[in-house]
Amino acid sequence: MTDTAVQLWQMKLAHPVMPAAGPNVMDAKALRACAQGGAAALVAKTISSTAAVIPHPNMADFKNYFLNTELWSEMSVDEWVERELPEARQIGLPLIVSLGYNAQDIAMLAPRVRPFADALELSTHYVGNDPKPMQDAVRAAKDAVGVPVMVKLSPFRDVHGTAVAAQEAGADGIICVNSFGPALGVDIENGGRLWMGGKGYGWISGPALKPIALRAVYDVARSVDIPVIGVGGISKGTDVVEYLMAGASAVQVCTAAITRGQTIYGKIARELAIWMAEHHYASIAEIKGLALRHPETLMSAPPQLLPERCTGCTYCVTSCMYGALYLENRKIRLHPELCTHCGLCLSRCPSGALQVG
């Protein structure tokens, strides 16, 4: 029987999928939609000392990546503490409250949200290369609350060094990663206007962010001995498997919830359970960290051919710049003397007709 449950400190989650801080968790109503959509825990949008003033327009979807100028919550601390967090607390799922950004803000905010939070998430999106401000923020949070405190890292920082510094300051977990940027989008059908409002710069999330975020999770999981939560480009169950194998204990989802709706959390969790059953994994613990324990990947021989699986799609032939692959009677064949062992064909083949040799 497949068990997708995970234990994060005192929080027992039915599965490892929860929302990430963003428009999908903008208030208690949105958080309730997350719960109804199958999330195993809730994360409230980042609260800071002053409400954010967000430029308009501030989001655009380009399918393989998403651009946004989203900031922290547009609501005040008082609105969250007096109305939104009490209502969110009644939903019945573990509630993680996201706070930003400096030690002074955290020292003021943490005591106010303490009655509602099962854990805190500290955003470091605007922290520079010096880890001390982040460490001061962690210590301020730890001094104010008795619940786990996590630090969310940005993908363009030294995630290894920052994670180690966060753990040394007392952090109980690391979240990898925030969106990446600044980036720019140009609307060529409307005279070259910029897609984002304000200065036009945005931040990248969605599928394009996943390899960067996976690398961060992999590096951090090898650097610290506290839980790591992966976020970036997750939209299906196999994405979660990748993060778990890279060392994550759980994952967060934002962009896919915006583009596909709040039911995405449950859908991803169901796909994860199906994949685990099909691959004979009984628990999350059996998957977690497999990539960390895997030896260095080497390809010292041409790919193994399984012609019976070949559909004749020609994807691999088109992409083989060395002329090593060809079709004969619509089945894959190989000139082994031309193969350079680049491995591209393994990822291009949609039917598994090419395997590591």
Structure confidence at residue 128 (pLDDT): 66
Residues 136 and 227 occupy one common structural domain: yes
Q: Which residues of the chain fall short of a pLDDT of 50?
A: none
Q: Could you tell me if residue 137 is inside a domain?
A: yes
1 assigned to some structural domain: no
Query: Is 186 inside any structural domain?
Result: yes
The residue among 206, 278, 203 whose CA lies nearest residue 235 is: 206
Task: Give residue-wise pLDDT tens across range 36-45.
Answer: 999 999 999 9
- The answer on 310 and 210 residing in a single domain is no
Q: Does the pTM of the predicted model rise above 0.75?
A: yes
Alpha helices, DSSP H, located in the chain = 28-36, 77-79, 85-89, 103-113, 132-144, 159-168, 210-221, 237-245, 255-260, 264-278, 290-293, 315-319, 344-348
Report the alpha-carbon distance of residue 78 to residue 73 in Å, rounded. Answer: 12
Out of 293, 312, 334, a domain closes at 293
List of residues 6+ apart from 335 with CB closer than 8 A: 323, 324, 325, 326
pLDDT recorded at residue 126: 58
Residue 172 covered by a domain: yes
The predicted structure's pLDDT at residue 117: 98
Residues of the domain holding 72: 6-293
Residue 299 domain-assigned (yes or no): no
Residue 125: the pLDDT is 62
Eight-state DSSP code of residue 91: T
Count of domains forming the chain: 2
**pLDDT for res 295:** 84
Which of 179, 182, 105, 183 shows the shortest CA–CA distance to 144? 105
User: Could you say which of 241, 263, 293 is where a domain stops?
Assistant: 293
CATH code, domain with 323: 3.30.70.20
Report the C-alpha gap between 317 and 314 in whole angstroms.
5
Q: Which of 250, 269, 293 is the last residue of a domain?
A: 293
Residues 120 and 72 in one domain: yes
Tell me: do 108 and 214 sit in the same domain: yes
* Residue 298 located in a structural domain: no
